[in-house]
Copies of this chain bind each other. A is one copy, B any other.
Amino acid sequence: MTETIEIAESNVEEVSSGKLSIIMFSGTADKFIPLGVLTQAGAAMGMEVNVFVTGFALLGFTKTHHDLPMSAEFAFMAPDLAKGMAANKVAGWDTMLRQARELGTKVYACSMMSGVMGLAKDDFNDLVDNIVGAATFIHQAEGGETLFI
């Protein structure tokens, strides 16, 4: 354990002026871990990080709490993962995303899917900066790394 933690800590020395864009579609709880890790790591390195939340992932950003399900195939691993996260003092995805936002990361909800799911701006919590369309986000993402989670 000590070794891997040391390696992780050494990462904060990486510096970048690049851009990382994440289209967050999947709504299973497990996929929110890489969202937290990647935004936090990218922002800590100095990258411009933007997140476009759409599809089922919108349920993770509402004032009303939704219990997000684990990926069906690995639901049996949920208790062990929770134990491992606690034992390794890994922050929750929302804590990591909050840290990223303090460093400038922006989170946008997809206008079309918000409409389809009956969600207005007022339904989203304070992690969401604005509601935008897909074209606006694609345009903003150009010239960087773009991931679809």
Count of this chain's copies in the oligomeric assembly: 3
Indicate the member of A37, A114, A138 with the most B CB atoms within 10 Å. A138
The interface residues of chain A, by DSSP majority, are classed as helix
Q: How far is the CA of A84 from the CA of B120 in the complex (A)?
A: 13
Known: A16-B138, A147-B148. 8 other contacts (CB 8 A): A16-B142, A21-B145, A25-B31, A34-B148, A37-B112, A42-B138, A88-B115, A148-B149
Where the two chains meet, the residues of A that have a C-beta atom closer than 8 Å to any C-beta of B are: 1, 3-5, 7-12, 14, 16, 18, 20-21, 23, 25-28, 30-31, 33-34, 37-38, 41-42, 44-45, 47, 54-56, 69-74, 77, 80-81, 84-85, 87-88, 90, 111-118, 120-121, 131-136, 138-139, 141-143, 145-149
